């Protein structure tokens, strides 16, 4: 599935209609969740039951009926997605919180399926044909949605962000691109001093987008509390604060995407650490720096581009990769502050470089023991993976 995103441009009245559609989506989702919570135990609530209940909501509430019927069904599907994820976590015995579905208070999107919208022949304008009054929106962007048949567009979303509204097209096409075999293999060690260190000794600089903009963000946050509640000035200050965070998010996404694309294009096998970021951020001294690095997002893009280019992306457990000598295999205990690996065998390497070599070796051993000559690459795409 390919996601193409355009910025929408129109007048204030249409933006208000979009907001009404987004609020209706949130209303339907929360009503479906309440229906699931209040249902007797003997009643089986599944996706089909919630879809039927969304039809009941259309009959009971005129403002729900004004939204396209498939958009209402998509809102009910969102509820079932949260419920089914909770069930799966319970069945798997996931430790800690299981992700019990919560009522939504900050929905930012409305999703249409194959009806309720129509594209202009130039495919630079889109018209929403339900009774919410959104009408025709101008699409600003350089993506080439016009090269795909309209039948391949399975979903259309309108998303609100701090800097405006965006229209996303979910196109059902296979994203694959054949590349020549390079014969190169690489291991990646993630870190805070460097974004990653590979088994060839290259240190990728850590951009630290949040740290660099932290002073401006704090200044923008203080401006919010200097404005009176309910006034237009406070709303503008909040929007300015949100825009700064949005900019950092986009910088982090583009950095992860570009680095992952380069790594996968240059190597046939990429081995990286299977880090549990959720557990690592419990360290409150390092949580901000870990989140700022964006390791999880980088890993998602590695897996996405591995599938696209037909490469192998393999995750291995990071246990003892920084303690083991890459030359003789001896365990050399060292504190986190010790940045140089020194072994009795005479091996002296930078700590992350040594760990990257061990990670690549563990990946090769895992492939050899599996007997498959490779590893299954996750087909999960990043949530915000746009065309690249």
127 within some domain: yes
Tell whether 191 is covered by a domain: yes
Residue 246 lies in a domain: no
Q: Are residues 277 and 337 in the same domain?
A: yes
Determine the pLDDT at residue 387. Answer: 45
- Kindly state whether residues 159 and 76 are assigned to the same domain: yes
For residue 163, is it within any domain?
Answer: yes
- Verify that 79 and 154 share a domain, yes or no: yes
CA distance 224 to 328: 58
C-beta neighbour count of 356 within 10 angstroms:
32
> 17: buried, middle or exposed (CB in 10 Å: 19+, 13-18, 0-12)?
buried
pLDDT band at 346 (very low <50, low <70, confident <90, very high): confident
Which distant-in-sequence residues (6+ apart) come within 8 Å of 131 by Cβ?
65, 66, 67
CATH number at residue 300: 3.30.420
Based on the fold, state whether residues 135 and 267 are members of the same structural domain.
Answer: no
Joined tokens for residue 100: 């019990």
Answer whether residue 384 shows pLDDT above 50. Answer: no
**Mean predicted lDDT score pLDDT of the chain:** 88
Cα 164 to chain centroid, rounded: 20
Is residue 197 within 8 A of residue 209, CB to CB? The reply is no
Could you tell me if 16 and 135 lie in one domain? yes
**Average pLDDT of the segment spanning 295-318:** 91
Residue 110 counted as domain residue? yes
In a domain, residue 330? The reply is yes
CB 152 within 8 A of CB 173: yes
Is residue 193 located within the same domain as residue 137?
no
CA distance 68 to 78: 16
Shared-domain flag, residues 291 and 318? yes
Please give the model's pTM, rounded to 2 decimal places. Answer: 0.84
Q: Would residue 73 count as lying in a domain? A: yes
User: Could you identify the residue written with the tokens 């949260």?
Assistant: 82
Residue 289, strand partner residues: none
**Higher-confidence position of 349 and 377:** 349
> Are both 189 and 318 inside the same structural domain?
yes
Residue 274: domain span: 185-205+255-370
Arithmetic mean of pLDDT, 64-93 = 93
Asked if residue 247 is part of any domain, the answer here is: no
Report DSSP letters for 221-239, one per residue. HHHHHHSPTTSHHHHHHHH
Task: Please give the pLDDT value at position 380.
Answer: 47
**195 in the same domain as 153:** no
Confidence of residue 371 (pLDDT cuts 50, 70, 90): low
Q: Which of 18-32, 235-249, 370-384 has the lowest mean pLDDT?
A: 370-384
- 23: confidence class by pLDDT, cuts 50, 70, 90: very high
Section 61-68 average pLDDT: 94
58 and 192, same domain (yes or no):
no
The Cα–Cα gap between 3 and 157 comes to 10
The crossing angle, in degrees rounded to 10, of helices 12-38 and 69-91 is 40
Which uninterrupted H or E stretch holds 195?
strand 194-198
The last residue of a domain, from among 171, 196, 230: 171
* Main-chain phi, psi angles of 237, to 5 degrees: -65, -40
Does 153 share its domain with 201?
A: no
For residue 278, how many other CB atoms are within 10 A of its CB? 9
Domain end (from 126, 146, 171) = 171
| Mean pLDDT (whole number) for 51-67 | 94
- 317 and 339 both lie in a single domain: yes
Percentage of the chain exceeding pLDDT 90: 58
Q: 130-182, pLDDT tens digit by residue?
A: 999 999 999 998 877 878 888 889 999 999 999 999 999 998 888 788 888 88
CA 165/CA 158 separation, integer angstroms: 7
Confidence of residue 383 (pLDDT cuts 50, 70, 90): very low
> How many structural domains compose the chain?
2
Check if the beta carbon of residue 99 is closer than 8 Å to that of residue 85.
yes
CA 376 to chain centre: 21
C-alpha 96/C-alpha 276 separation (Å) is 14
Q: What is the pLDDT of residues 178-202, one digit of tens each?
A: 888 888 999 999 989 899 999 888 9
**In angstroms, rounded to a whole number, what is the distance separating the alpha carbons of residues 74 and 12?**
26
């Amino acid at each position: 599935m390919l996601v193409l995103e355009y910025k929408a441009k129109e007048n204030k009245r249409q933006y208000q209609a979009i907001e009404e559609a987004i609020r209706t989506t949130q209303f339907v989702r929360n009503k479906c969740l309440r229906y699931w919570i209040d249902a007797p135990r003997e009643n089986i609530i599944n996706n089909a039951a919630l879809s039927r209940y969304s039809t009941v909501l259309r009959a009971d509430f005129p403002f729900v009926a004004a939204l396209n019927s498939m958009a209402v069904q998509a809102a009910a599907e969102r509820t079932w997605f949260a419920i089914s994820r909770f069930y799966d976590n319970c069945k798997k015995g996931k430790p800690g919180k299981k992700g019990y579905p919560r009522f939504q208070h900050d929905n930012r999107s409305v999703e249409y399926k194959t009806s309720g919208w129509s594209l202009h022949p130039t495919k630079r304008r889109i018209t929403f044909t339900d009774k919410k009054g959104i009408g025709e929106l101008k699409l600003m962007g350089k993506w080439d949605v016009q090269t795909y048949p309209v039948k391949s567009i399975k979903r259309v979303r309108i998303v609100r962000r701090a800097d405006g509204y965006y229209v996303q097209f979910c196109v059902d096409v296979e994203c694959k691109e054949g590349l020549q075999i390079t014969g190169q293999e690489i291991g990646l060690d993630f870190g805070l001093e460097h974004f990653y260190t590979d088994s060839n000794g290259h240190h990728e600089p850590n951009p630290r987008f949040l740290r660099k903009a932290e002073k401006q963000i704090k200044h923008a946050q203080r401006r919010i509390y200097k404005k009176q509640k309910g006034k237009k000035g406070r709303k503008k200050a909040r929007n300015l604060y949100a825009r700064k965070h949005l900019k950092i998010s986009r910088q982090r996404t583009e950095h992860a995407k570009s680095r992952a694309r380069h790594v996968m294009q240059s190597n046939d096998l990429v081995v990286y650490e299977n880090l549990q970021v959720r557990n690592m951020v419990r360290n409150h001294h390092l949580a901000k720096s870990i989140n700022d690095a964006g390791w999880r997002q980088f890993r998602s893009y590695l897996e996405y581009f591995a599938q696209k280019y037909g490469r192998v992306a393999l995750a291995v457990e990071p246990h003892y990769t920084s303690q083991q000598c890459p030359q003789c295999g001896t365990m050399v205990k060292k504190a986190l502050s010790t940045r140089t690996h020194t072994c009795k065998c005479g091996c002296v390497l930078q700590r992350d470089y040594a760990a990257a070599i061990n990670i690549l070796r563990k990946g090769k051993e895992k492939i050899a023991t599996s007997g498959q000559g490779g590893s299954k690459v996750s087909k999960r795409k990043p949530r915000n993976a746009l065309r690249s």
